[in-house]
Amino acid sequence: MILLPINDDQHRRVERAVAKFSASWSTISPERGATALKMLVLCELIGGRGRAVKALGLRDNTIDNYRHGRTEPRYSALEVLARVANVPAPLLAQDWQYVGGQLHIAPVSMNGSPGFATGGFAEPPNGGGSGWSDDIGLEGAIDEAGEDAARDRFLAALPQGFLAGLTLQAASLRVVRAAGDSMAQTIADGAPMLVDTGDRLLTDGCIYVFGTDGDRLVRRVQRQLDGSLDLIADNGRRYRSRTVAADAVEALDVVGRVRAVTALL
């Protein structure tokens, strides 16, 4: 667990906000509640709702709806607030919990897919040519016979309580290793990933595995107002994002959602 350092004033602000808004989270999904907590904490770290409104160019009631969990912010909105609050962007992909008056961040990234072939595709590094190049894909490092044992070892390595808020079916989970650096620092080269092949709904801000011409691509998704979808490489300094037109989104081959990543296995 990472304990996010906050000063006394920020601590009091977060504590009051949690008391005010957390009652709403019991009626929504754990994932949406986790997003609401992130929005709430980031708002208080930068000085409150007013400053969040100014930073994002949104209305007061929109920010409150995010904090209640009635609606979800775009991942880009969380990134803006994290930047203002000096919170490292990779922490947004982690599991945030407010327990005992302290904010804990679990060192796993929330995100999914089925038994994979080797190799993978990604957008070329910035400044590169057109087309695709080898990047973060999926190594078939775990054969089918050892798949259950690998999954069990992976789950045992996760922080206690991490799985409590997730609804996962063991039969749909696969463990594969990432290859490449396009999703660094969220997913390191060679890191084992727990992939849920039963979750293909493309939730904004989450990470998915996509099939492309027989290979695999790992990307964070961000929905746009016009219905298009951005496939984002977390290592944006070296890799460009790719935009999928609105009329092509349904044709995407979504293998599954990455639900956790760990350096242990």
Query: What residue segments make up the domains of the chain, in order of their start?
Result: 2-106, 121-261
- How high is the pLDDT of residue 156? 60
Q: Using only C-alpha atoms, what is the Rg of the chain? A: 18
223 Cα distance to chain centroid: 14
Predicted TM-score (pTM) of the model is 0.50
Q: Which residue has the tokens 């460009």?
A: 240
Cis? peptide before 222, omega within 30° of 0: no
CATH class of the region 2-106: mainly alpha
Q: Identify the CATH class of 121-261.
A: mainly beta
What is the predicted pLDDT for the residue at 143? 35
- Spatial neighbors of 97 by CB under 8 A, at least 6 apart, are 37, 103, 104, 105, 106, 161
| pLDDT value at residue 129 | 30
Mean pLDDT by 10 residues, the chain (265 residues): 68 90 90 89 93 93 94 86 84 76 59 29 34 37 47 60 61 80 82 85 88 81 89 87 90 88 58
Task: Identify the burial level of 5 via C-beta atoms within 10 angstroms of its C-beta, where 0-12 means exposed, 13-18 middle and 19 or more buried.
Answer: exposed
Q: Report residue 252 as tokens.
A: 């995407």
The predicted structure's pLDDT at residue 39? 94
pLDDT attached to residue 166: 60
The values of phi and psi at residue 257, to 5°, are -110, 135
| Amino acid 264: pLDDT | 44
